[in-house]
Amino acid sequence: MLEKCRNAQERWGGVSEIIDNWLEERQQLISIFVALPQQSVHEGLTDRIQEFCQVMMDYISSGHFEVYEQLLKEGSEFNDGSLEKAQALFPQIQDSTDAALDFNDSYSNFAGQTLHEMHELTVQLSSLGEALEERFSLEDTMIEILHTAHRDQVFTEAPV
């Protein structure tokens, strides 16, 4: 029993740290995103867009290759339908992944030399913002379904 408790604490505690770090990365992404419209075209816009693209790619990669994987592993420990509910969210999350990858491909080396390019950047940022907002909501739902809902069960099953 004690070994089971230790394993559970390691598994859940580690995930909480992963989620905490990931959510901090999300906050950094949002901060850069909301600052972009105020960025001077002549003073660092291209650097700021490159930074945004890098942070966005890091955030998405962490989600797909660390957080989601760990959450799904947790969800598989319970036979309560939560895993299926969470897996149903992936196609919707993938839509925002595709939007982020497209934006990164188009703008990670943005030069912004013409008014048309600046206009397109504005349009694409708006569209990306909507996709990211939807993604964050879906990710929060997945965390609720696969992690938060089971957290108390793991710790109440362990002997005191």
**Angle formed at CA 58 by CA 135 and CA 129, multiple of 5 degrees:** 35
Residue 70 has pLDDT above 80, yes or no: yes
Asked if residue 143 has pLDDT above 80, the reply is yes
Beta-carbon contacts of residue 121 (< 8 Å; ≥ 6 apart):
49, 107, 110, 112
What's the structural domain count of the chain?
1
**67, 70, 78: which is closest to 153 by C-alpha?**
78
pTM, entire model: 0.81
Cα(132)–Cα(126) distance, integer angstroms: 10
Q: Does residue 83 contact residue 75 with C-beta atoms inside 8 Å?
A: yes
Question: How sure is the predictor about 153, in pLDDT bands with cuts at 50, 70 and 90?
Answer: low
In sequence order, what are the residues at sequence separation of 6 or more whose Cβ sits closer than 8 angstroms to the Cβ of residue 45? 36, 39, 110, 112
Q: Region 14-30: what's the mean pLDDT?
A: 84
d(CA 104, CA 119): 17
Residue 15 scores a pLDDT above 90: no
So what's the pLDDT on residue 152? 54
pLDDT tens for 73-100 read 877 877 777 888 888 999 999 999 999 9
Average pLDDT over every residue of 18-37 = 90
Domain that holds residue 152: 2-157
**Where residue 86 sits, what CATH number does that domain have?**
1.20.120.1370
